[in-house]
Amino acid sequence: MKTKNQAYITAFGQNLKKLLDAKGKTPEEVAAHSNIETKQVYRVINGEHAATLSVVYALAKGLDIQPKELFDFVFAG
Amino acid sequence: MKTKNQAYITAFGQNLKKLLDAKGKTPEEVAAHSNIETKQVYRVINGEHAATLSVVYALAKGLDIQPKELFDFVFAG
């Protein structure tokens, strides 16, 4: 992978925050309902960590949504 | 991240292969249209590599689809 796409990683995190807010869930609650650590949820939200497929699946489980819903945002990359 | 979700990584790769076939594209062509190496496309297809958000975005670009379409498959995890 030549270039990391920080803009997309940031956009994903911002969308994740919107989903948490819309569901009235905290990063702690999402972490509790999936096997990810709370600090990792925060790092994905803040665009500091590029989620892998396993984290994507766990986040969706923690939010009780389908993984594809985590990618349902406009990004003019 | 306590546990890697190999089953989901494998399912993602199998779905990716279906998308390539449906579009009549080879891993080489997808790699050429995105900034990923061909061997990385193969490794994602074979479930050997868990795509990160940047790879997800690049794969979607290489297939000329939206990233969420890469997650449009049933997974009874």
| pLDDT digits 0-9 by tens, A22-51 | 999 999 999 999 989 999 999 999 999 999
Q: Residue A44: closest CA among chain B residues belongs to which residue?
A: B53
Question: Running DSSP on this structure, what letter comes out for residue B52?
Answer: B
CATH class given for the domain over A6-68: mainly alpha
Q: Is A74 helix (H, G, I), strand (E, B) or coil?
A: coil
Residues in B lying within 8 Å of A, measured between beta carbons: 1-5, 8-9, 12, 35-37, 40, 50-58, 61, 66-72, 75, 77
* Gap between the Cα atoms of B23 and A39, Å rounded: 39
Condensed to tens digits (0 to 9), the pLDDT of residues B31-53 reads: 999 989 999 999 999 999 999 99
What's the ipTM?
Answer: 0.91
Question: Of how many residues is chain A composed?
Answer: 77
Class of the domain covering B6-71: mainly alpha
